[in-house]
Amino acid sequence: MPALDASLAFAITMLVLAMVVTTLVETLHRIFGLREKGLALLLGNFYDRVLAARSGSPPDGAQQREWFIDMMTVNRGPVGRAPMTALSRTLHVDARSEDRKFLNWIWSGRRLGSLSLTAFMERLGGSEHGARLMSEASAAGDKAIEWTLKDVAQKFEAFGQEASEYFESRARLLSVVVGFVVALALHVDAFMLFDTFMRRPDITQQVIAQADKVTKAYQDAQTKTDAPSATVTDDVKKTKQELEAQVDILRTAGVPIGWTPPAVVEFREWWTKQSNAFWKTLLGMFLGGLLIGLGAPFWYRAVQMLTGLRGAARQETATSSTATTPGGAPAAPPDAPNQLPQTPIDAFHVALGAALASGQLQPSEEAVG
């Protein structure tokens, strides 16, 4: 039982530190615009490999490629004095000049970091790239238009999935690197932590008492992951506050982390003597960084599993009858009017029709289908 309690306290500690790493990694992504750059890279590859050949790209392909990426990535709200205008049947977005202006890098949100399939098809349908795509496909008949649109949609979705796998692996590597930095900065010795939890049941119980608070903080962080922030400076301030709150959870529970004066003196003595304790501490911090780098989702699942095992071992979770809801299946909501596009293909057609109705685009009759 003490070993199970110590394991649970260790997992909670790792979850808190992994959340610290997640906060730092997220801040790095936002400061350096890694998601925005990744989306631009994805769209550039998609244009080169799929759209350019399907839509009959004009001779100025490089410029068309830049316009396509701008059109797909620009935030159509806070674009400053860079409006989207239709010139020469091409939906141009002059936002790059705004991006380069002094201190504009501080304001996040000018470029999109993600693009759903429906939003992609809607923007494509409202551009000349979409009109040329329809014109090229119409030569093979009406069915070819639908096949082409569906193929473009499924290829963009496949590109997005493959890119997500790549960026997730890169993010995991970055998390491991940041985990090592956090372990060294906070003196996270995995051996000392587990030994403390085994020898000091009072500290162990204090950490376990924070389990609900820590797991709730993790769940709240998951729901706020995609929430945009106003500025980079806001990100830094928010990160500092979150880091302090997360580390305080461990310090108030008495967890031995941080370079306290006794720890610094002890480490210097070991360093001078080159004793086994020095190498053990160094190995413990290396292992701590590696474990932290496993990520918050891993440690969240570990906490949930160990909490269940601990409850079963102490027989505190007696079998309780599950509450049943009276009545049958919930009534289906009434049918709502079909006011908005329901599929990516519908979004494309609606955007194209709106562009034609406003006079922004004037494709041939065959392109309309």
Higher-pLDDT residue of 200 and 273 is 200
Environment class of 115 (CB within 10 Å of its CB; exposed 0-12, middle 13-18, buried 19+): middle
Q: How confident is the model at residue 12 (pLDDT cuts 50, 70, 90)?
A: very high
Looking at the chain, the number of H-run helices and the number of E-run strands are 17, 2
Lowest-pLDDT choice from 191-205, 316-330, 353-367? 316-330
| Residue 56 DSSP SS3 | coil
For 73-85, write each residue's pLDDT tens digit: 888 765 444 444 4
> Rounded distance, CA 340 to CA 251, Å?
52
> Rounded distance, CA 272 to CA 129, Å?
68
Please give the mean pLDDT across all residues of the chain: 75
Give the pLDDT confidence score for residue 323 in this predicted structure.
46
> Rounded distance, CA 88 to CA 85, Å?
10
Query: What's the one-letter identity of residue 253?
Result: A
Q: Which of 116, 76, 112 is nearest to 93 (CA)?
A: 76
Q: Taking a C-beta distance cutoff of 8 angstroms, is the pair 296, 22 a contact?
A: yes
Q: How confident is the model at residue 191 (pLDDT cuts 50, 70, 90)?
A: very high
Query: What's the one-letter identity of residue 315?
Result: Q
Structural domain boundaries in the chain: 2-32+171-313, 34-165+344-368
Give the pLDDT confidence score for residue 169 in this predicted structure.
83
Give the pLDDT confidence score for residue 7 in this predicted structure.
92
The tokens for 259 are 């370079």
Of the chain, the percentage scoring pLDDT greater than 90 comes to 13
Res. 11: pLDDT tops 90: yes
Q: What are phi and psi of 109, to 5 degrees?
A: 95, -5
Q: How confident is the model at residue 301 (pLDDT cuts 50, 70, 90)?
A: very high
For 93-137, write each residue's pLDDT tens digit: 444 544 544 445 455 557 788 889 999 998 988 888 888 888 888
Res. 368: pLDDT tops 60: no
DSSP H or E segment with residue 235:
helix 232-252
> Rounded distance, CA 73 to CA 94, Å?
12
- Please tell me which of 22-31, 221-230, 296-305, 346-355 the model is most confident about, judged by mean pLDDT: 296-305
Give the pLDDT confidence score for residue 367 in this predicted structure.
47
The tokens for 315 are 């027989």
> What predicted TM-score, i.e. pTM, was given to this entire model?
0.62
For 134-160, write each residue's pLDDT tens digit: 888 887 777 778 888 888 888 899 999
> Rounded distance, CA 35 to CA 321, Å?
47
Give the pLDDT confidence score for residue 238 in this predicted structure.
62
Give the pLDDT confidence score for residue 14 in this predicted structure.
92
Q: Which of 39, 35, 17, 16 is nearest to 26 (CA)?
A: 35
For 238-268, write each residue's pLDDT tens digit: 656 666 777 777 877 888 888 877 778 877 7
Res. 176: pLDDT tops 60: yes
> Rounded distance, CA 22 to CA 296, Å?
7
